[in-house]
Amino acid sequence: MVDPQAIVTVLHMTVSAVEELFRIGLLKGGRRRKNTTRHARRAHISELIEFKKHYISATDAAAEFGLASPKLLVEALTERGVQPVVRTFRNISCVYRRQDIEKAMST
């Protein structure tokens, strides 16, 4: 199992974005410690690898498409009608389906 900080690092997302992924079920993770209900969730590395095959953060996508910042990517995708799967508080982190971004950016 990978600890919460490693999940943030591997996925290049904020803690709040990772928490939202667990909340909506895009990441399942493992059981929390038995002695607490508020302990941070953990995930298997195989789950993270599978997640990265289908989803991408705006930060990673901006780098992949050679844009100067994730903000420019989000604006471009919004103009093309592509909405994120996850948009965290104050739009700090956005997570998109890879296929949506690839389709929008190829046109």
Distances (CA, A) of 15 to 20, 30, 63, 72: 9, 17, 20, 22
State if pTM tops 0.75: yes
Number of structural domains found in the chain: 1
Q: In which domain, by residue range, is 94 found?
A: 4-106
**Interval 54-107: pLDDT, tens:** 999 988 999 998 988 888 898 999 999 999 988 776 656 789 999 999 999 887
